[in-house]
Structures are given as structure tokens and as C-alpha cells.
């Protein structure tokens, strides 16, 4: 009986330790572009350079997604900025205005404008 319990416990632990390979749901790039055009382009600009029509009136300039600093941000960092906003900047959080799918889609669209480039140590 003890051996059986130990075997099952071991199998359970191994099952938890092995990555499942779960993938994030697919996002619709067109939906991301629609969200970007509706909510982001006025500050971040058409190409994501932080040069939208409202950018000049802001005390803190919007992020330029083309800069290496922005390209080096992880998906989690981008999503966090979209969800919660950025302190001491005009970038407010969108958690109460965009759905999870819209946030994923607009993050994917931003990555199309400015692909991820991991920082070089």
C-alpha cells in the first residue's frame, strides 16, 4: 500500500514538473490594428514612433515602440503597461475598457510594428 501511494505521489509530482507546452490563444492581427487605430494612434502614431497628433501636447512623451528600449520589452511588460498604465505619465490603464482578447491583439499588433529584440548582455 505504501509503495502504491509513493508511486502515485511521484507520478503526480512529475506531472506538475513537466511543462505542458500550453500556448496562448491565437490573436487576430486585424483586431489588434482596429484597437490600435481606435485607442493608441493619437498618441503613439501610425508607425508607433510616439508622434501621434496628441503627442506634442503631453508633458511625458508617449512610448516610441521603434526604439530599442521598447523593442526589448517582453510581452508581459507590454501587456502590463496596457492593462495598468504607467505611473507619472498620461498612459492610463485599459483594463476596464479593453477585453483580454483586445489586449492580446493590440500587443501582437505593436509587435508587428516593432518586432521584439531581446536585450544583448
49-93: pLDDT as tens digits: 999 999 999 999 999 999 999 999 999 999 999 999 999 999 999
**Stated length of the chain:** 121
Distance CA 74, CA 37 (A): 22
Mean pLDDT of the chain: 87
Place of cell 520589452: 73
Nearest 5 degrees, angle CA 75-CA 57-CA 84? 30
pTM score over 0.85 = no
* Residue 114 · residue 70 · CB < 8 Å: yes
- Per DSSP, helices labelled H in the chain are 2-17, 29-39, 41-44, 68-71, 75-84, 100-113
* Residue 54 · residue 82 · CB < 8 Å: no
Amino acid at each position: 500500500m505504501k509503495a502504491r501511494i509513493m508511486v502515485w505521489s511521484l507520478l503526480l509530482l512529475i506531472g506538475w514538473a513537466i511543462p505542458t507546452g500550453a500556448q496562448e490563444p491565437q490573436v487576430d492581427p486585424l483586431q489588434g490594428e482596429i484597437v490600435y487605430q481606435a485607442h493608441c494612434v493619437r498618441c503613439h502614431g501610425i508607425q508607433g514612433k510616439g508622434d501621434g497628433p496628441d503627442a506634442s501636447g503631453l508633458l511625458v512623451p508617449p512610448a516610441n515602440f521603434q526604439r530599442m528600449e521598447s523593442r526589448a520589452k517582453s510581452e508581459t511588460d507590454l501587456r502590463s503597461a496596457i492593462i495598468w498604465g504607467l505611473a507619472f505619465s498620461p498612459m492610463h490603464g485599459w483594463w476596464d475598457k479593453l477585453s483580454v482578447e483586445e489586449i492580446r491583439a493590440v500587443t501582437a499588433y505593436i509587435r508587428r510594428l516593432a518586432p521584439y529584440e531581446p536585450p544583448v548582455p
